[in-house]
Amino acid sequence: MSIKNVKIFLISVLLFSLQQQTGAQSYRKIENTAFERGEKLTFRVYYHSALTGKVTAGEAGLEVKPDAVTRNGRPVYHLVGTGQSKGAFNLFFKVDDRFESFVDAEGLFPWYFIRRTREGGYKKDDEVTFRQNQGIAVSRNAVKKVPQNTQDILSVFYYARTLDITGVNPGESFPLSFFLDDSVYVSKIVFLGREEVKTSLGTIRCLKFKPMVIKGDVFSEPYPMQLYISDDANRLPILAQSAVIVGSVKMELISFKGLRNPFSSIVPADYRQIANPKKK
């Protein structure tokens, strides 16, 4: 083989290799009309038991940071979820949690996840790098093979908000997978139907779901929770209520800003009351 032919052969091999790499790095595209940068949601958390009655246990937040950032050369959403216990609840079960996820803006899969958990005497810190083109998740303690587009426990919620439920009937479910504690969990969320829910914001038309959770020290059965999502384009979490080992917990949306779409699921009379409160 002549030198010229060798060069042509090598160039051909290189081009083929580049084409293969490009193909391996083709990512999914998700149509997201539910949220955008700058969205901020605040929740009040209640705990109820026969011993304590109803007490405000804490406050939680979900935020899509307003800054445009990149990861691996691609635009991402910087998601932050927080939860803190309040008042007397700190005396017997103090909580101070923070989760962050850097999620591909086009594919809504995570590139990087940060966890800081403080719950009673339990403490857990972790960072996970998702090598989506290789199907690998690298945490502080392990390197694990994961299915393509595996979510973390924060990004999975935002991805779920984009699911199309047009034509879905009560009883049908959606599969969801996420990476937590160096393991992949396959869960699902069951659609129960539509219902109006009275909250501190007013009466809101909602989609009702039953998500499957991890059984353990907190939840004794796989479907203990009911989740109410606004029946509009925002797909806002309005209310979550659940029975736990002792008592029950409820988390309710109390304020919001930076919505991508009009909050059209709230009953109009209640919306006018929020938008134009009477002066005292």
Q: Regarding predicted confidence, which is higher, 220 or 143?
A: 143
State how far the Cα of 51 lies from the Cα of 25, in Å rounded to an integer.
55
Q: Which phi-psi region, left, alpha or beta, contains residue 220 (left: φ > 0; alpha: ψ -120 to 50)?
A: alpha
Asked, for residue 262, whether it belongs to a domain, the answer is yes
Predicted pLDDT at 190: 93
pLDDT surpasses 50 at 17 = no
Asked, for residue 28, whether it belongs to a domain, the answer is no
Report pLDDT digits (tens) over 171-198.
999 988 899 999 999 888 999 999 999 9
Domain with residue 123: its CATH number is 2.40.360
Predicted pLDDT at 84: 96
What domain count does the chain have? 1
Asked, for residue 73, whether it belongs to a domain, the answer is yes
Asked, for residue 25, whether it belongs to a domain, the answer is no
Asked, for residue 26, whether it belongs to a domain, the answer is no
- Give the chain's mean pLDDT: 85
Is 178 buried (19+), middle (13-18) or exposed (0-12) by CB count in 10 A? buried
Q: Which domain holds residue 174?
A: 38-275
Does the pTM of the predicted model rise above 0.85? no
Predicted pLDDT at 8: 43
Asked, for residue 240, whether it belongs to a domain, the answer is yes
Amino acid type, 38: G
Is 218 buried (19+), middle (13-18) or exposed (0-12) by CB count in 10 A? middle
- Strand, coil or helix: what is 150? coil
Asked, for residue 3, whether it belongs to a domain, the answer is no
Asked, for residue 102, whether it belongs to a domain, the answer is yes
